[in-house]
Amino acid sequence: TSSPDGYSLLLNQLRLANEELEVRKEEVLILRTQIVSADQRRLAGRNAEPNINARTSWPNSEKHVDQEDAIEAYHGVCQTNRLLEAQLQAQSLEHEAAVEQLQAQVEALKEELDRQQQTFSQTLLLSPEAQVEFGVQQEMSRLTNENLDFKELVEKLEKNERKLKKQLKIYMKKVQDLEAAQALAQSDRRRHELTRAGDGAAEGEGLPGILEFHKEDEAALIRNLVTDLKPQTLLGTVPCLPAYILYMCIRHADYTNDDLKVHSLLTSTINGIKKVLKKHNDDFEMTTFWLSNTCRLLHCLKQYSGDEGFMTQNTAKQNEHCLKNFDLTEYRQVLSDLSIQIYQQLIKIAEGLLQPMIVSAMLENESIQGLSGVKPTGYRKRSSSMADGDNAYCLEAVIRQMNSFHTVMCDQGLDPEIIQQVFKQLFYMISAVTLNNLLLRKDACSWSTGMQLRYNISQLEEWLRGRNLHQSGAVQTMEPLIQAAQLLQLKKKTQEDAEAICSLCTALSTQQIVKILNLYTPLNEFEERVTVAFIRTIQAQLQERNDPQQLLLDFKHMFPVLFPFNPSSLTMDSIHIPACLNLEFLNEV
C-alpha cells in the first residue's frame, strides 16, 4: 500500500515542477519584451519632434543625452539581458535534472511496485505455511542485501582507518625523534653544566643530596632497591631509606633536565613495587615496608616540589633540594593510587590473620574465671568444648597479634596517621564479626556473655590507650558491640526497663535489639525469659527510627583511607647508603 502513495507523491512533485518552469518562462518572456520595448522607445525618441517627445512616458526625455552615456546604458542593458538568460538556462537545466531524477525514481518505484504485485499474486496462490516461509525468505534476502551494503561500508571505513593509523604512526615517529633530539641536546647541556659544578666543588661549591646514575644502570637500581630487597636487610638504618635514595636519583635526572630519565625511573619503580606486592601478597611485613616507602616517596615529591603549600616546614637547607625543572604532579597521583592499593592489601592480610581468632577469643574463651558456672542451662557443655578445642583462641592471642602488627608498622616508619587508620579498620572488623555471631547464636545471648564481652572490650580499650591509639576512632567502631553487651545485662521487665534500653542502644538497629531479646537465654530456671509483651513495647518505642533492614553488619566494609602530608626533617645530604644494597654504581655528586 505504501508504493502507490509514493508514486502519486512523485507525480504531484513532477507536475508542480513543470508548472513552476512554465511560470519562469513566462516571466523571462515578459522581461525580454519590456527590454525590447524600452530600447525601441529610446531609439524613436532620438528622431522624433520635441512635441512628440513631450507626450512619451520617459520622464527625462527633454534632457540632452550624451552618446557615450547612451552606449554605456545600452551595453548595461545587454549585459543584464545576458545575465538573465544565463540564470534562466541554469534554472532550466536544474529543473530538467530534477525532472530526470524524479522520473528515474518513478520508474524505480514502478518496477518495485510491479515486482511486489507479482510477488503478492504468487503469495496468494500459496498455502499459509508456504506464505510464511516465502515471507521469511524475502526478509532474509532483504537483510542479506543490507548486510552486504553495510559490509562494504565497513570495509571502506576500515581502509580509511588503516590509512589514518599509518599517517598517525608517521607523525608520532617524527614527534618522538624531535623530542629525543631536544632531550639529548638539553641533557648534553646540563651534563656540561654539572661537570662545571663538580669542578667547582673543590672550591666549596657542591651539589649535596644528588645521586648520579647512568641509564644502563637503571635495571640494576630497581632490582637491588625494589624487587630483590628484603626489609630485614635495612634493620637499623633510616626508615624508608629506598624512598630517599630514589628521590636523590630523581633529583639528578631533574638537574640534568632529562625528561626521559625521570619518566623511565618512576615508571620502573612503580612497576617494581607492584611486582613485589603481587609476589608477597600475604606478607604483612613486606606490604608494610612498601606502603611506608611509597608514602614517603610521595611525601618527598610534595615536600621538594617547589609548591609553597608543601614547603612551610622546610629548612633553608631542605629548600635547596627542591626540583628545578619538572612538575611531577601526575606521578604524585599515581603514587597516591598505589598507596591506596597497598593499604587495602595490608588490611586484607591483617584481617585474614585476625578473623579466625575473633569468635573464640571474644565469645567463647573464659577470660573471667568462674563464669563457666553461670552459663545458660543446656549450653555449658558446648561452650566449654569449643573453648577447649584445637581452634580455640584467647583474648591474649588477639592482643599478641595486634602487638606484632604495631611493632612492624612502627619499625618500618609508617606514618602514625596511617597506623591509626589500620587499627580503626581492624577494631571495626573485630566488632562486626563478634556482633554478627552474637546475633546468630542463642547460646551466646546471656547475662554471662554480656559480662565476658564487657571485660574483653575493656582489655582492648586499655591496649589502645597503651599504644596511644585511643584517638584513632577505633573505640567508636566498637560501640554497637558495647551496647549489645550492656543490653544482655540490663533488666528486661518493666516499662522503665524498655525506656532505658531504647535510650542506651542508639548504635544498634531495632531489628538487632529485637533479635538479641528474642535469643536471650536465662541463666537458670529461676530467671524469666523476655516476654513477648516487653519486646512489643520496645518495637513500639523504636518505630519512629529509620533503621536499615539489614540485621548483620558488613564486616568487610572498609573506611576510606587518607594519607595526610607528613614532611621529613631529614636532609638529603645526611642519607648514608649501606654497602649491603650493592649500589656502588650510584655516584654522589
Question: According to the model, what pLDDT value does residue 52 have?
Answer: 43
Q: Are 570 and 302 in contact (CB under 8 A)?
A: no
Count of CA atoms in the C-beta half-sphere (13 A) of 453: 27
Q: Three-state secondary structure along 478-514?
A: CHHHHHHHHHHHCCCCCHHHHHHHHHHCCCCCHHHHH
Q: Are 345 and 422 in contact (CB under 8 A)?
A: no
Closest CA to 254 of 326, 162, 345: 326
DSSP 209: T
Q: Which residues contact 361 (CB under 8 A, 6 or more apart)?
A: 393, 394, 395, 397, 398, 456
Question: According to the model, what pLDDT value does residue 372 have?
Answer: 53
By the 10 Å C-beta count (0-12 exposed, 13-18 middle, 19+ buried), 503 is classed as exposed
Question: According to the model, what pLDDT value does residue 389 have?
Answer: 46
Q: Are 438 and 516 in contact (CB under 8 A)?
A: yes
CA-atom Rg of the chain in angstroms = 46
Say if residue 190's pLDDT is above 80.
no
Residue 35 binned pLDDT confidence (cut-offs 50, 70, 90): confident
Helix (H, G, I), strand (E, B) or coil at 212: strand
DSSP 472: S
By the 10 Å C-beta count (0-12 exposed, 13-18 middle, 19+ buried), 449 is classed as buried
Q: Are 366 and 452 in contact (CB under 8 A)?
A: yes
Query: Among the listed ranges 264-268, 340-344, 377-381, 469-473, which one has the minimum average pLDDT value?
Result: 377-381
Sign, Cα dihedral of 472, 475, 478, 483: negative
Average pLDDT estimate for 497-503: 95
pLDDT tens column, 212-248 = 999 999 999 999 999 999 999 998 899 999 999 999 9
Question: According to the model, what pLDDT value does residue 178 have?
Answer: 84
Average pLDDT estimate for 172-192: 72
Q: What percent of the chain has pLDDT over 70?
A: 87
Q: Which amino acid type is present at position 306?
A: G
Angle at 454 between CA 453 and CA 460, to 5 degrees: 90
Q: Are 325 and 254 in contact (CB under 8 A)?
A: yes
Cα–Cα distance for residue pair 587/589, rounded to 1 Å: 6
Residue 260: alpha-carbon gap to chain centroid: 27
pLDDT tens column, 139-169 = 888 888 888 889 889 989 998 998 899 889 8
Helix (H) or strand (E) holding 145: helix 128-200
Closest CA to 367 of 460, 233, 267, 498: 460
Average pLDDT estimate for 484-497: 94
Say if residue 206's pLDDT is above 50.
no
Question: According to the model, what pLDDT value does residue 383 have?
Answer: 42
Long-range contacts for 157-162 (Cβ within 8 Å, ≥24 apart)? none
Helix (H, G, I), strand (E, B) or coil at 588: strand
Q: Are 451 and 373 in contact (CB under 8 A)?
A: no
Cα–Cα distance for residue pair 201/207, rounded to 1 Å: 8
Say if residue 413's pLDDT is above 50.
yes
- Bridge partners for 587 per DSSP: 212
Cα–Cα distance for residue pair 438/449, rounded to 1 Å: 9
Say if residue 54's pLDDT is above 60.
no
What per-residue string of b and e applies to 74-101 under the rule 16 or more CB within 10 Å gives b?
A: eeeeeeeeeeeeeebeeeeeeeeeeeee
Residue identified by cell 619499625 is 411
pLDDT tens column, 348-392 = 999 999 999 999 999 998 877 655 555 554 444 444 334 444 467
Sign, Cα dihedral of 318, 319, 320, 324: positive
- The C-alpha cell that represents 349 in the structure block: 592480610
More confident of the two residues 527 and 54: 527
Q: What is the mean pLDDT of the chain?
A: 85
Angle at 314 between CA 312 and CA 316, to 5 degrees: 120
Say if residue 188's pLDDT is above 80.
no
Average pLDDT estimate for 313-337: 91
By the 10 Å C-beta count (0-12 exposed, 13-18 middle, 19+ buried), 421 is classed as buried
Say if residue 201's pLDDT is above 80.
no
Residue 90: alpha-carbon gap to chain centroid: 59
More confident of the two residues 115 and 208: 115
Cα–Cα distance for residue pair 269/292, rounded to 1 Å: 14
pTM: 0.64
Say if residue 129's pLDDT is above 90.
no
